[in-house]
Amino acid sequence: MSGKAPPLTVFHMLERHLGRMIHVVMDQSYGFEGVLAAVTREPPGIWLSEAKATVMRSTIAQPIPQVVSREDRSEVFINLSSVHRIEVLHEE
């Protein structure tokens, strides 16, 4: 995605989930959790409210990364060009 704008379908998908809790994975060991508050097209990004920075770890026994710690961050803007994955979290 470097240098190019994400396709409009990405914005449509994100706008459908406004107000829901999401987890944004920045790399294999770092991300953010929070409520999707806004989607911007210029610059392409998202705003999270009630955000928490997350640290993820994986082991040989558990190769899928799991969140091991969270730290409060209040509100965060995340540029979509640095996002690896976005997960919509379901409420339990």
Q: How far is C-alpha 62 from the geometric centre of its chain's CA atoms?
A: 22
The span from the CA of 68 to the CA of 63, in Å, is: 14
Residue ranges of domains in the chain, CATH in brackets: 8-87 (2.30.30.100)
Average confidence (pLDDT) over 65-75: 90
Average pLDDT over residues 75-89: 92
Read off the pLDDT band of 92 (50, 70, 90): low
Predicted TM-score (pTM) above 0.85: no
pLDDT tens by residue, 21-65:
999 999 889 999 999 999 998 899 999 999 999 999 998 998 888
Q: Of 23, 38, 43, 35, which Cα lies nearest the Cα of 85?
A: 23
The burial class, CB within 10 Å (0-12 / 13-18 / 19+), for 80 is buried
CA distance 54 to 34: 10
